[in-house]
Structure 1
């Protein structure tokens, strides 16, 4: 893969800002975007729609391999279509996120989605957002970022998102869910959530989104991957 388009990997736990940051960096540079977490969320959602149990690894792997998904960009709110239906909001719910975290522990599911993720690597470049982008999917990426933030701050951010969407939620329950998901992601036997050895770690707890975007743009420029005008 070393002769292909450059990749910026952005890994980290849920709520660290990966999705927003990755989208903004991709838009600024005119690069492609891979939201790998959406693929696991879509697998979990498709499994529920087709009555495939979350402990049926073989069934889940088939669902992952056959996902009928379309990503539509070009607006402030990119659309995700599953079997022709807009599920952009549904896949961002806590319920689907929790199911996706369980699905992601299964080796056969991860293998089914691996090449699909690598196919996103196209010129002029790719920003890949996930939990194992730098450690597994794009090991030769010239720039790897690991975003972090305290669990408390990530729970607070999620609470604000839900309230803006008109959803009532409890900060304490969100914190418990985030901590449980972190533990599951970090302790899984396949592709656990850890920084790549050559990743740049960035704590976003006290940083604003534009500051993080500027920092990543600076790092890309320092590696000769983009030109800052």
Structure 2
């Protein structure tokens, strides 16, 4: 059976990573969370004082890029892929609201995108991969056999993210999360380098009112059809 490349793009908090992990697990494909890669660089910038308050020192971050290593390792105990920042697992640390508030400006820096896109190309050159992000179907894998573009109402996405953070124990308000979601949308869709856009041949999935199980089966059927060459 041939192996294809599956590119899943879309807005923040649309469940891209969840469905990408499900697909990769079902198909025995490699899963790459590109958002985690940008979050890892953002975490590095925060830890090193390259981001202070609302100020991002772009020149300092660009100069530090050769010292930043982002990779993934498979954890057999949990059966999941773990993101590593300079050799250390940072899966929980990169999911804070603080990182979320700063990741879009970091991801808009062309030098950051160039570094990570090169890593992503290397990861996916053999096919058999599911990758999610903002520019996978348009920039990273423009020839992917299956492209999905995920969207949902901003208020619903903020609600999902708010509940996720509250359940984890974070001290935040819904209004803070909604502001973060809408601001990330603005930055992601208007940045000069690789803005978030739907690829011409991508299939749009609006999951505002769709449960995770139905969404998974819809996208899985699309993947099966592409693998079999039916569409």
Q: Does TM-score exceed 0.5, indicating one fold? A: yes
* Deviation of the 1:143 alpha carbon: 0.7
Tell me the number of residue pairs that the alignment of Structure 1 and Structure 2 aligns: 224
Q: 1:143 to 1:65 in 2, by over 3 A?
A: farther
* Structure 1 partner of 2:213: 210
Q: Distance in 1 between matches of 2:170 and 2:97?
A: 11
Contact kept in structure 2, 1:31 and 1:123, CA below 8 Å: no
* Deviation of the 1:131 alpha carbon: 0.3
Q: 1:107 to 1:161 in 2, by over 3 A?
A: same
- Which deviates more from structure 2 when the two are superposed, residues 197-206 or residues 51-60? 51-60
TM-score, scaled to structure 2:
0.88
Please give the root-mean-square deviation of Cα atoms over the aligned residues, in Å. Answer: 2.2
What SS class does the counterpart of residue 224 from structure 1 fall into? helix
What SS class does the counterpart of residue 154 from structure 1 fall into? helix
Contact kept in structure 1, 2:100 and 2:180, CA below 8 Å: no
Contact kept in structure 2, 1:159 and 1:174, CA below 8 Å: yes
Runs of at least 4 residues off by over 6 Å: none
What SS class does the counterpart of residue 146 from structure 1 fall into? strand
* Deviation of the 1:221 alpha carbon: 1.5
Deviations 1:122-145 (CA, angstroms, capped at 9, x unpaired): 545110110000011100001100
TM-score, scaled to structure 1:
0.89
Q: Does 1:151 align with 2:154?
A: yes
- Unmatched 5+ residue regions in structure 2? none
- Which deviates more from structure 2 when the two are superposed, residues 98-107 or residues 79-88? 79-88
Q: Does 1:125 align with 2:128?
A: yes
Q: 1:225 to 1:104 in 2, by over 3 A?
A: farther
Q: How does 1:36-185 map to 2 (within 5 A)?
A: 36-53=34-51, 55-73=56-74, 74=76, 75=78, 78-121=81-124, 123=126, 125-185=128-188
* Structure 1 partner of 2:226: 223
Contact kept in structure 2, 1:33 and 1:127, CA below 8 Å: yes
- Unmatched 5+ residue regions in structure 1? none
Q: Distance in 1 between matches of 2:207 and 2:113?
A: 28
What SS class does the counterpart of residue 190 from structure 1 fall into? coil
2:17 to 16, 19, 22: 19
Q: 1:5 to 1:51 in 2, by over 3 A?
A: farther
Deviations 1:67-115 (CA, angstroms, capped at 9, x unpaired): 2334233426643332333321110111112211111111121112111
Q: Distance in 2 between matches of 1:210 and 1:57?
A: 41
